[in-house]
Amino acid sequence: MTLIKNRCVLITGGASGIGKLIAKKCLQKRAYKVILWDINEKKLLKTKKEFANRGYDVDVDVVDVADLEDVKRASKRVKELFRNVDILFNNAGIVVGKPFARHSHRDISKTININVSALMHIALEFLPGMIDQRDGHLINIASAAGLIANPNMSVYAASKWAVIGWSESVRLEMEAEETGVHVTTVMPGYINTGMFDGVKAPFLTPTLSPEFIVEKIMKAVKNNEIILQEPFMVKSVPFMKGVLPQKAFDFLAKKVFGVHGTMDEFKGRPEHEAVPDKDNLSIH
């Protein structure tokens, strides 16, 4: 069982969305310190003020997780101030919603750097400390997109497939070495945070409310769950892919559940402060 009380918690992409809600839950559970990283300084300071008005003191830092040197700088600061992080929520992420052939090289690099490389680099900064103290928890926010191919989100899907493979591999290493460090991989469907504005949820797979998925995440952390998949139909994807011929699965995904059309009207939530020259991009 992982307890939040008296623990030092770091949340990336913590200024808004589910990152902000996770921070709220950790504060309510009396974490020793909650640290929020985000690239959006305006939202970060606003969130810090909101929590201060409720009597909570959070540590914030403007961090571009796609920039390894910035990650190293921010990690060093955390270690100097708080020694180490006990619980790490790797939450920050972006999606580019358009056909692959219309991507720029920058779209690809930025998506992979934020959605994949950043998680690994940040974990590498704090995992050795967790291992040394033989206690810690790494929570990686992946996506149901890491389980099923989908038009108009190819690079995003690829990034989440990578996260799942990496996260599960690290978990097996932690278990084999009996480090006392837990790893939870979260694979939600579409969440109503604004990141996926304009999408049409697949049949029998409703868009999740941020409050619902955060409650599930906090419960999964408490119980040291290995994998969290929501809503229910997400759990069935690996089974269906395993038993059906590929063409049959493609037909089911496209014609029955409507998965392949979910991104047709994607708008997302533009973040001009982060990527002023790009459209069709949304960030946590």
Q: What is the DSSP string of 156-214?
A: HHHHHHHHHHHHHHHHHHHHHTT-SEEEEEEEE--BTTTTTTT--PPTT-PPBPHHHHH
Whether residue 87 is predicted with pLDDT greater than 70 in this model: the reply is yes
Cα-only R_g, the chain: 18
Cα–chain-centroid distance for residue 110? 15
pLDDT for the residue 204: 83
Calculate what percentage of the chain has a pLDDT beyond 70: 95
Q: Is 179 exposed, middle or buried (0-12, 13-18, 19+ CB in 10 A)?
A: middle
Residue 190 designated active-site: no
283 — pLDDT class (breaks 50, 70, 90)? low
Q: Which of 32, 56, 156, 190 is an active site residue? A: 156
Look at 83 and 279; give whichever has higher pLDDT: 83
Model-level pTM greater than 0.85? Answer: yes
Mean pLDDT (the chain) is 94
Whole-number pLDDT of residue 270: 57
Is residue 10's pLDDT more than 60?
A: yes
Residue 274 has pLDDT above 70, yes or no: no
Q: What is the pLDDT of residue 267?
A: 87
pLDDT mean over 83-92: 97
And the tokens for 47?
């969130």
Tell me whether the omega of the peptide bond preceding residue 231 falls within 30 degrees of 0, making it cis.
yes
Query: Residue 19: pLDDT above 50?
Result: yes
CA angle (256, 233, 237) in 5-degree steps: 80
pLDDT digits (tens, 9 = 90+) for 146-175: 999 999 999 999 999 999 999 999 999 999
Q: pLDDT by residue (tens digit) across 97-128?
A: 999 999 999 999 999 999 999 999 999 999 99
Region of residue 96 (left: phi > 0; alpha: psi -120 to 50; beta: else): beta
Chain segment 204-253, per-residue pLDDT in tens:
899 999 999 999 999 999 999 999 999 999 999 999 999 999 999 999 99
